[in-house]
């Protein structure tokens, strides 16, 4: 259907760094799929269904892999194809008494999102409970987590909270301790 697929042999980080000059059969411990569709090339790992398209497990990002084609081979780079990012933004109000309230938004994409999903997607209720227990000075009014089932999208977390533990005031000086 217009594309070529071949094996890429590699050494995972836990197996050790691969030295292309001295590569032997024992140097490799994993196989992924290389697909070429026109000029576009993709690396696919079918061993983890929670990985987004064209994303290898972090343990596979170990330098180079050996692309094995019909009677030939070449080395291909094993680099992340997407940026991994965790971004936190907030909108807060401090009242005259030094009481803080607001909304915190946390977005996790790339490997940050993958890691969050693998740790918390099965029991998000427990994650929220532990989060609230660790933030003893917070009164969490609302806590939403979205994007747990879409591996190609960011995980978005929204917390609406109030707290009296972040702000100290002395006369004209207000000291705000960020999250």
Q: How do residues 70-87 score in pLDDT, each as one tens digit?
A: 889 999 999 888 889 999
Q: How far apart are CA 74 and CA 89, in angstroms?
A: 44
Reduce the DSSP state of residue 22 to 3 states and report it: helix
* Tally of CA atoms within 13 A in the half-sphere of 42 that contains its CB: 15
Report the pLDDT value the prediction gives residue 170, as an integer from 0 to 100. Answer: 77
For tokens 């006369």, name the residue.
171
For tokens 């747990």, name the residue.
148
Query: Who has greater pLDDT, 20 or 130?
Result: 130
Q: What is the pLDDT of residues 113-167, one digit of tens each?
A: 999 998 998 899 999 999 889 887 888 999 999 999 988 899 999 999 998 767 7
Report the pLDDT value the prediction gives residue 1, as an integer from 0 to 100. Answer: 62
Residues near 62 by beta carbon (within 8 Å), at least 6 away in sequence: 10, 11, 12, 13, 17, 18, 78
């Amino acid at each position: 259907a217009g594309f070529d697929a071949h094996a890429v042999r590699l050494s995972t980080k836990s197996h050790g760094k691969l030295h292309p000059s001295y590569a032997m059969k024992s140097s490799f411990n994993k196989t992924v799929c290389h697909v070429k569709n026109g000029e576009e090339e993709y690396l696919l790992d079918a061993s983890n269904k929670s990985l987004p398209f064209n994303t290898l497990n972090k343990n596979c990002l170990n330098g180079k892999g050996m692309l094995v084609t019909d009677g030939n081979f070449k080395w291909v780079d094993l680099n992340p194809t997407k940026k991994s990012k965790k971004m936190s933004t907030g909108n807060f109000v401090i009242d005259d008494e030094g009481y803080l309230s607001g909304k915190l938004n946390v977005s996790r994409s790339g490997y940050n999102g993958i890691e969050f999903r693998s740790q918390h997607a099965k029991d998000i209720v427990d994650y929220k409970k532990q989060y609230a227990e660790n933030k003893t000075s917070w009164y969490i009014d609302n806590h939403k987590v979205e994007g747990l089932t879409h591996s190609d999208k960011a995980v978005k977390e929204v917390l609406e909270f109030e707290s009296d533990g972040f702000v100290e005031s002395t006369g004209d000086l207000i000291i705000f301790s960020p999250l």
